[in-house]
């Protein structure tokens, strides 16, 4: 494990944590619940955005940190709503009680709504400051919306018991990889990258998201009736497939100079133990 890159990952997490702490300064119950929901994330998606911006930038701007904050608000919203009784009905998230368990179901719904609302507001404010973020914002909201993460969630909630590998790929693509694509492509659009470069960033995020989700499955000892690759193949075959996906992921990002951190994330995320 490259210590320098691991350090950058942790630095990004600290910087995003500081943005979160600065953003919430009221003592209202809803802000308390929003802050609670945002604590303790790994900030993988914010890091993807920031590190893709760094492909063409040395210094990250205030607008980039705000955009990354909006990304993590959307991530928190999706987890808060996913944990609700009407969805996965989970009592624990990020090592503590889920938001609806801690604050009540009414506040759970409203916390998710408010996070998505604030994220959209931040994206619009950043785009007012600098219109080069406008198409990035549109792309992000599209990928976490109707034809992306939300569609993935619906496919997952309504799946049949006898799903196959193609179905699993479709769910993981929409539910997980589309958000990863949103982070890399949004940054690529702000960078002013060519269509070909944007395509490579989208492919990289596709394989990274798939690999991230497969590792999530491999870490799950007791997946019950949840979708999981281990219900379709044994551990060794799934691990071999993950290695192949990582190889394809690497070949997409190798096309860029300065790709060290994004290459590091492939191994780091697909070998994580948490
Ligand atoms: C409710 C619209 C809506 C969507 C929910 C993201 C999602 C879709 C559901 C969460 C459940 C889940 C297992 C999704 C797969 C993606 C995933 C592994 C999310 C967790 O991401 P991490 O590990 O979480 O990056 P942290 O806590 O670090 O932010």
Q: For residue 252, name the pLDDT band (cuts at 50, 70, 90).
A: very high
Looking from the CA of 42 toward its CB, the CA atoms found within 13 Å total 13
Ligand 1 centroid vs 263 CA: distance in angstroms? 22
Nearest CA to ligand 1 atom 20: 79
Question: In percent, how much of the chain has pLDDT > 90?
Answer: 92
Ligand 1 pocket check for 150: Cβ under 6 Å: yes
The CATH number covering residue 34 comes to 1.10.600.10
Indicate the number of domains in the chain. Answer: 1
Pocket of ligand 1 contains residue 151 by CB under 6 Å: no
Q: Is the pLDDT assigned to residue 2 strictly greater than 90?
A: no
Q: Is the pLDDT of residue 160 over 90?
A: no
User: Does the beta carbon of 215 sit less than 6 angstroms from any atom of ligand 1?
Assistant: no
Give the closest residue (by CA) to ligand 1 atom 16: 176
For a substitution probing ligand 1, which of 9, 40, 76, 79 has the most ligand atoms within 8 Å of its CB?
79
Range of the domain at 24: 1-270
Average pLDDT along the chain:
96
pLDDT value at 254 more than 80 = yes
- State whether the beta carbon of 44 lies less than 6 angstroms from ligand 1: yes
pLDDT digits (tens, 9 = 90+) for 61-90: 999 999 999 999 999 999 999 999 999 999
Does any ligand 1 atom lie closer than 6 A to the CB of residue 13? no
The rounded distance, in Å, linking the Cα atoms of 272 and 274 is 6
β-bridge pairing 96-97 and 92-93: antiparallel
pLDDT at 1 over 70: no
Q: Cα dist. 156→87, 88, 142, 169, 217 in Å?
A: 10, 10, 19, 11, 14
The stretch 18-47 carries a mean pLDDT of 95
Judge if the beta carbon of residue 82 lies within 6 A of ligand 1: yes
pLDDT tens digit string along 184-237?
A: 999 999 999 999 999 999 999 999 999 999 999 999 978 988 999 999 999 999
pLDDT at position 271: 83
Q: Give percent above pLDDT 70 in the chain.
A: 100
* SS3 per-residue string spanning the chain: CCHHHHHHHHHHHHHHHHHHHHHCCCCCHHHHHHHHHHCCCCCHHHHHHHHHHCCCCCCCCHHHHHHHHHHHHHHHHHHHHHCCCCCCCCCEECCEECHHHHHCHHHHHHHHHHHHHHHHHHHHHHHHHCHHHHHHHHHHHHHCCCCCHHHHHHHHHCCCCCCCHHHHHHHHHHHHHHHHHHHHHHHHHHHCCCHHHHHHHHHHHHHHHHHHHHHHHHHCCCCCCCCCHHHCCCHHHHHHHHHHHHHHHHHHHCCCCCCHHHHHHHHHHHCCCC
Per-residue pLDDT tens digits for 82-100? 999 999 999 999 999 999 9
Ligand 1 mean position to 80 CA, how many Å? 9
pTM over 0.85: yes
Instruction: Note the pLDDT of residue 221.
Output: 77
Tens of pLDDT, residues 46-60: 999 999 999 998 789
For residue 239, name the pLDDT band (cuts at 50, 70, 90). very high
């Amino acid at each position: 494990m490259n210590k320098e890159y691991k350090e950058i990952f942790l630095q990004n997490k600290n910087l995003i944590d500081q943005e979160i702490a600065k953003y919430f300064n009221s003592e209202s119950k809803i802000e308390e619940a929003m802050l609670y929901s945002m604590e303790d994330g790994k900030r993988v998606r914010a890091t993807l955005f920031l590190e893709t911006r760094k492909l063409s930038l040395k210094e990250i701007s205030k607008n980039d940190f705000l955009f990354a904050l909006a990304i993590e608000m959307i991530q928190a919203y999706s987890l808060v709503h996913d944990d609700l009784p009407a969805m996965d009905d989970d009592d624990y998230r990020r090592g503590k009680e889920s938001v609806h368990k801690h604050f009540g179901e009414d506040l759970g719904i409203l916390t998710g709504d408010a996070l998505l609302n604030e994220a959209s507001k931040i994206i619009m404010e950043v785009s007012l400051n600098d219109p080069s973020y406008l198409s990035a914002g549109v792309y992000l909201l599209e990928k976490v919306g109707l034809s992306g993460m939300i569609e993935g969630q619906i496919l997952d909630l309504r799946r049949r018991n006898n799903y196959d590998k193609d179905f699993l790929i479709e769910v993981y693509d929409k539910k997980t990889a589309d958000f990863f694509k949103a982070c890399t492509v949004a940054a690529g659009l702000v960078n002013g990258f060519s269509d070909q470069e944007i395509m490579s960033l989208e492919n990289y995020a596709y394989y990274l998201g798939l690999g991230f989700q497969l590792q999530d499955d491999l870490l799950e000892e007791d997946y019950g009736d949840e979708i999981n690759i281990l219900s379709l193949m044994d551990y060794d075959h799934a691990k071999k497939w993950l290695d192949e996906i990582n190889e394809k992921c690497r070949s997409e990002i190798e096309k860029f100079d300065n790709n060290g951190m994004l290459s590091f994330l492939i191994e780091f995320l697909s070998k994580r133990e948490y």
